[in-house]
């Protein structure tokens, strides 16, 4: 593998970071990323924060679950009335 | 008597009690906006009523309603996806001229205050990220949430929304880049 092909931009590096958060980065991707990390402090920081972001996503998920919203009884009555109305028109 | 000959029938008077919650939960997992989800459920019931005569009884009532709902969701996604530029407040993070693909100086990630702290107040932090998620352009939010919060498989999201996987990863990456920045500005600011 030529070194030239192993060189990636910060934009590409961060895109790989994101993929790897979901276990979707290939081995080649990961090698390229680690080579990039040797020279780029900023992307290393991005990567660290990106994985912290994943932890926060789990928190947001729990937050959503505890604040789950649903159809109220009122919403349902309204829908029922609309269906009756429709039946009449038919 | 056999399973195959069973003909299903429709009984709209019972739809709301039997399926409203199910359809709503199905929708909210994909369209995070509760009001929009309600609208889509309502539209689904109406579309069902209007096309009752096309019901052949091969599938169960619920499966049939879900198939209508799926089309409503994909139509919704296409609609938000086609509002090009207008609603999309996308921030660029990388140069596109000489230093193509490098970080734009003033958008470079900053060290976070207490970022690595394991004792982060998780309820509050979850709420803060939720607020940032709400600020994402709708189509980013939809794909991001399906993948990250709901944990759908990439392939399933691509099938349901009719997008390619490379398209999905671009959207997820842009969403995460914006979320990182949003948390930096609103939570971790020094």
Report the C-alpha gap between B160 and B70 in whole angstroms: 8
At B115, the pLDDT band (50, 70, 90 cuts) reads: low
Q: Does domain B105-186 have CATH number 3.40.50.10490?
A: no
Report the C-alpha gap between B130 and B124 in whole angstroms: 10
Instruction: Name the class of domain B3-82.
Output: mainly alpha
Percentage of the residues of chain B whose pLDDT score is greater than 90: 61
Residues of B in contact with A32 (CB under 8 A): none
What is residue B1's predicted lDDT score, i.e. its pLDDT? 46
Nearest to B21 among A42, A70, A86 (CB): A70
Percentage of the residues of chain B whose pLDDT score is greater than 70: 89
What is residue B154's predicted lDDT score, i.e. its pLDDT? 97
- Provide ipTM, 2 decimals: 0.86
Q: Cβ separation of A75 and B100 shorter than 8 Å?
A: no
pLDDT in tens, B41-61: 999 999 999 999 889 888 899
Q: Cβ separation of B112 and A49 shorter than 8 Å?
A: yes
Domain locations in chain B as residue ranges: 3-82, 105-186
Cα nearest neighbour of A62 on chain B: B126
Q: Phi-psi bin for B151: left (phi > 0), alpha (psi -120 to 50), beta?
A: left
Q: In this structure, how many other beta carbons lie within 10 angstroms of the beta carbon of residue A14?
A: 28
Q: Cβ separation of B172 and A62 shorter than 8 Å?
A: no
At B99, the pLDDT band (50, 70, 90 cuts) reads: confident
What is residue B88's predicted lDDT score, i.e. its pLDDT? 59
Report the C-alpha gap between B168 and B152 in whole angstroms: 12
pLDDT at position B97 over 90: no
Instruction: Output the tens digit of pLDDT for each of chain A's 90 residues.
Output: 455 578 999 999 999 999 999 999 999 999 999 999 999 999 999 999 999 999 999 999 999 888 877 889 999 999 999 888 887 776
What is residue B122's predicted lDDT score, i.e. its pLDDT? 80
At B5, the pLDDT band (50, 70, 90 cuts) reads: low
The SS3 of residue B113 is coil
Q: What are phi and psi of B103, to 5 degrees?
A: -65, 140
Nearest to A42 among B38, B109, B176 (CB): B109
Please report the sign of the dihedral spanned by the C-alpha atoms of residue B17, residue B19, residue B25, residue B31. Answer: negative
Q: What is the dihedral of CA B150, B155, B156, B162, to 10 degrees?
A: 120
Instruction: Give the distance from residue A1's alpha carbon to the nearest chain B alpha carbon, in angstroms.
Output: 22
């Amino acid at each position: 593998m030529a070194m030239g092909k192993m060189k990636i931009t910060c934009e590409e590096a961060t895109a790989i970071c994101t993929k790897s958060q979901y276990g979707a980065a290939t081995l080649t991707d990961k090698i390229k990323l680690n080579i990039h990390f040797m020279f780029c402090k900023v992307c290393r920081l991005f990567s660290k924060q990106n994985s912290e972001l994943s932890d926060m996503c789990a928190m947001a998920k729990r937050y959503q679950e505890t604040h789950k919203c649903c159809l109220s009884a009122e919403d349902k009555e309204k829908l029922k009335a609309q269906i009756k109305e429709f039946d009449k028109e038919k | 008597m056999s399973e195959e000959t069973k003909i299903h029938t429709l009984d709209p008077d019972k739809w709301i009690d039997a399926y409203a919650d199910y359809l709503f939960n199905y929708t909210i997992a994909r369209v995070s906006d509760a009001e929009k989800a309600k609208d889509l459920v309502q539209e689904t019931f109406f579309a069902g009523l209007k096309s009752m005569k096309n019901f052949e009884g091969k599938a169960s009532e619920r499966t049939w309603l879900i198939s209508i709902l799926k089309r409503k969701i994909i139509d919704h996604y296409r609609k938000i996806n086609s509002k090009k530029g207008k609603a999309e407040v996308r921030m660029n993070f990388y140069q596109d001229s000489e230093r193509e693909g490098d970080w734009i100086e003033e958008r470079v990630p900053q060290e976070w205050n207490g970022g690595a702290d394991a004792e982060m107040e998780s309820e509050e932090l979850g709420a803060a990220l939720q607020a940032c998620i709400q600020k994402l352009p709708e189509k980013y939010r939809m794909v991001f949430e399906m993948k990250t919060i709901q944990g759908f498989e990439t392939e399933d999201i691509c099938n349901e929304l009719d997008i390619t996987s490379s398209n999905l990863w671009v959207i997820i990456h842009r969403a995460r880049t914006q979320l990182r920045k949003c948390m930096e500005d609103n939570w971790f600011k020094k």
